[in-house]
Structure 1
Amino acid sequence: MNTLSRSFAAAVAACLLSLTSAAPLAAQDFKVIVNSANPISDISAAALSKIFLKEAAAFPGGGSATPVDLGKSSPVRAAFSKRIIGRPVSAVDTYWQQQIFSGKDVPPAAKASDDDVIAFVKSTPGAVGYVSAAASTAGVKVVDVK
């Protein structure tokens, strides 16, 4: 292997290493929260995605679910959308435009801040939302996403 090939291989390896080491950090970008009266302690990403796309109206095991989003420009929403729904915010927005146009459903309510999401979840039985990892979640329950 010549020097140029070794340098290229080292650069590719370094890039791949940085991507794999960043993956666990992305999981810490947000916390999923529910109303404190909700009995669940964890939820699968697939079930959460169905709730936020309104393909499911209840939590696994029962109890109605009312999702609440952060605003479209929120970096926390971008992380949630990518990790949980598996699509960028723009693709989720397109999905909702199609749902609205076909008369099927409307998107979840969107709140301007973590505090607004927390207040909504705190006051709404069955509510589920997400906030930044640094947000204080007093009065609501943080659930693990499997």
Structure 2
Amino acid sequence: MTAKFKIDDVAKECGLTKRTLRYYEEIGLLSPPERTDGGIRMYTQDHIDRLKRLINARDVLGFSLQELQRYVSITEELESHRQGYRQISDDKEKLPKLIQLEPIVKNQLVIIEEKLQKMIEMRDEIQQFHHRVQAAIARMGGGNEQK
């Protein structure tokens, strides 16, 4: 029997609010959980794992909700192909699956590269500003105390 978790437990485990969980379900980031006869949502470990991946993509990669939706749809497509690939034992049958898989993986890389490029641009801008501040401090003779 698969363990089931109430919304309070999932929210606490993932560091989210119950409202956020319901919203993620509403916009399709999270599949609707089973409900008891009384209407109480009962989540599985798969829901929790998915939420943790979403939180990781949001926090580490800085994805907006729209970007998260795009990333999740690609991830789901990728997982579907991976499952099909694993069930094939003949290498001749695996090749077409790999050919289908390649652009999906590439698309995920493109999304991450776009985000990295934006982060690099932001870092460079702040770094330039920092250098200007340091130069101004040095010109005013106050560079030794500040480090």
**Higher normalized contact order (CA 8 Å, seq sep 6+, divided by chain length):** 1
Q: Give the TM-score normalised by structure 1.
A: 0.22
Larger % of helix: which?
Answer: 2
Q: Give the TM-score normalised by structure 2.
A: 0.22
Larger % of strand: which?
Answer: 1
- Compare CA radii of gyration and give the structure with the larger one: 2
